[in-house]
Amino acid sequence: MSGMLGAFQDSPLFTTDNDVHVTDGLDVLWTNQRALDVATLRLREAFPSHAEHRVEFIHTNPLNWVEGGFHYRTGLTMLTLITYTHSLGTGVTPRLRVLINGVQRAQLTLTAGEQTHTVAISSIGLVSGQAVEVLLQIVDTTLEAAQAGNPDLPGEPADPSSARWGRYDLIDAYVSPLSATLTTPDPGPPTLDNTPTAAILNQLSNRLDWLAMRVGLVPWPVWQRPFNVPGLYWAPTTYHLWSGGIVRGAGSTLVVEFAYQIVTNSGERFRLLINGSEAATTPVLSAPAHNWATSWEVDVSGYSSTARLRLEIQSVITAAREADQGGRPSRFTLESVHVRRGSPGHLSMPTRTAPDESMTWTNLRGRVNALIANSNAIKSRIDDNPDLFDRARLYRAGYAYNAGARLYLEFRHMPTQRRRIGRRLVVAGRNVKIGWGPMVVRAPEEQDGEVTLEFAHTETLIASNAVETREIWLDQLPGLRVSRTYTLMGGDVRFAAEYLR
């Protein structure tokens, strides 16, 4: 495996009366620890809530609001959902209905502002290792009773200005506690004096292995990328492109990576709102302005490290060419939203030991003891950051609201990992392919009216037309190295997350 994270090797063994070996021994401990250092410094990706699209939903009750998934392991007990209700709409009493693997498990009242909802998952028949599907619906139960099984609301206009049109965001969702899914106890730090016994060295080896297992429990869901999102409007207006939520934790900078193309508008800008206030913006742009790789970096150190920030990206059109005059919507792709540390904060690693190196026992002992001390620091990082290490974020499936929309949006909302970080990818879905390497965007004119992507490398992950779960060791895909981008194609990915090992 390439890159620093490739250092996660299985634990070496030290045996009495054999040399303190390096290539498959001490050096593995060193590189494993460096990988743990990197892995435990990584911060959050934003939880993606909602992206603009062409599918009107106001006339559907219940509304299939959010689809997602998680990888169940014995020990997980709770699904937590954090909603933010901007407006409830009038004349409706919306509820949040939670279906797990198609079975309703909760129905929760929504009120204005931020709410934390919990749903027990420990005794509902989930099997360890199973990819679990979660469907969140917004439902007006009063209206539902009147519908008599017909979800289409007769006479309801497909119009967001309707009074029924409430506005809701899911700004975080996770299952927990991850720590309870590991039944093996921490071997703890050994103490090394003047005798490097097998017990001591193997305890350190086992501890680093345990820490890797512990960090390896944390899924990194594949980012749901809104690709080439066209605005609905090309008259002067402000419209929503994407929303989500994030806790900055130890991060100090919010990084938003995106690309855009102004096709015909002559006055348009894109802006980022944090908690409803503009925090960053592009200049006012005119066609044919475009940028395929740009970003905002916003200082968020002034926010509480534990507060959840509501994020929204909008387009503000001030001068447009009308559609009947050949006006066309601009395009916007959101690659990544994450927080970054102010300083790297890496552990101070002991000098790396070279095979056959000659040194004093003082020197070697110091190096091993430094590894032991660092293992404590890594353990503390894990214990002190439950938001990062004790919660498995829900994978956010496509932003579509029904199967038809999902098919329609297949090439617009694609699970895309901006930077591969893990060794193993778990995917559940149907007819899933992975694409990586240089990418060509085929224009709608070439592709039956829809944008398509062509990758230099593709591989079928799930050939079946039925939902299946697959584990893929990413190193087996040639050229897909750590930090490289990949995309999952097929339009029906129910769960996708990377794991460090």
Partner 1 sequence: MGSNHSITYSAQYKTGGVWVPMPGVLRVHTHVQSSDGGGPFRFGASVLPSATVECGPAAPATGWYRAPFRASVQVTIDGVAHPEEDVFTGILTRRTPGQWGYTFEAAGADGRIRRARVRTPLRYRRALATATTAGSVEDPDDVGYVGGLLNEIFWKSGGRPYEQAHVYPDAAFYYACDGTSVAPEWGWIDTENAWDEALKLAEAAGGQVYQDSRGVMRYVNPLLLAESTPAPLVVADTGPHASGRILYDGRVEVDEDLTAAYNVAVCTFQRRALQAPQEVYKNQDSFEIDPSQYKDHECVTSWPVRWRDQDGAVEYTVEVVACYDDGYGVTPTVTVLEESARVLELRITNPSSTRVIHVDSITITGRPVTVQQQGVARYTGPRFDANDDEDVEIRLNDSVYTQRETAAQRRATLAVYFDGYPRPVYRVGNCPYMPGVTVGQYTLFYSQQLGLVGEPCRIVDQYLDDSGTVMGLALASVVGLPKLSERFVVGTTYALSDVRRVGL
* Residues forming the site for partner 1 (CB under 8 A): 1, 9-28, 128-129, 194-198, 201, 353-362, 364-365, 473, 475-476
Least separation in angstroms between residue 42's CB and partner 1 is 22
Choose between 282 and 353: whose C-beta lies nearer to partner 1: 353
With vertex at residue 492, the alpha carbon angle to CA 220 and CA 134, rounded to the nearest 5 degrees, is: 60
CB within 8 A of 5, min separation 6: which ones?
35, 38, 39, 421, 422, 423, 482, 500
Question: Is residue 18 classed as helix, strand or coil in its secondary structure?
Answer: coil
In DSSP notation, 381-421 reads: HHHH-HHHHS-EEPEE--S-SSHHHHHHTTTTEEEEESS--
Least separation in angstroms between residue 367's CB and partner 1 is 10
Least separation in angstroms between residue 480's CB and partner 1 is 13
Choose between 54 and 352: whose C-beta lies nearer to partner 1: 352
Give the chain's largest Cα–Cα span: 85
Choose between 128 and 483: whose C-beta lies nearer to partner 1: 128
Q: Distance between alpha carbon 437 and the CA centroid of its chain, in Å?
A: 21
Least separation in angstroms between residue 21's CB and partner 1 is 4
Least separation in angstroms between residue 269's CB and partner 1 is 47
Least separation in angstroms between residue 475's CB and partner 1 is 5
94 near 139, Cβ under 8 Å? yes
State the SS3 of 36-49: HHHHHHCCCECEEE
At residue 26, what are phi and psi to the nearest 5 degrees?
Answer: -55, -40
Choose between 298 and 392: whose C-beta lies nearer to partner 1: 392
Question: Is residue 125 classed as helix, strand or coil in its secondary structure?
Answer: coil
Please choose, from the candidates 468, 501, 415, the residue with its C-alpha nearest in 3D space to the C-alpha of residue 36: 501
CA distance 364 to 211: 23
Choose between 354 and 403: whose C-beta lies nearer to partner 1: 354
Q: Distance between alpha carbon 242 and the CA centroid of its chain, in Å?
A: 15
| Token couple for 370 | 């430094």
Choose between 123 and 361: whose C-beta lies nearer to partner 1: 361
Least separation in angstroms between residue 32's CB and partner 1 is 10
Choose between 356 and 445: whose C-beta lies nearer to partner 1: 356
Least separation in angstroms between residue 347's CB and partner 1 is 21
Please choose, from the candidates 437, 475, 357, the residue with its C-alpha nearest in 3D space to the C-alpha of residue 9: 475
Choose between 246 and 427: whose C-beta lies nearer to partner 1: 427
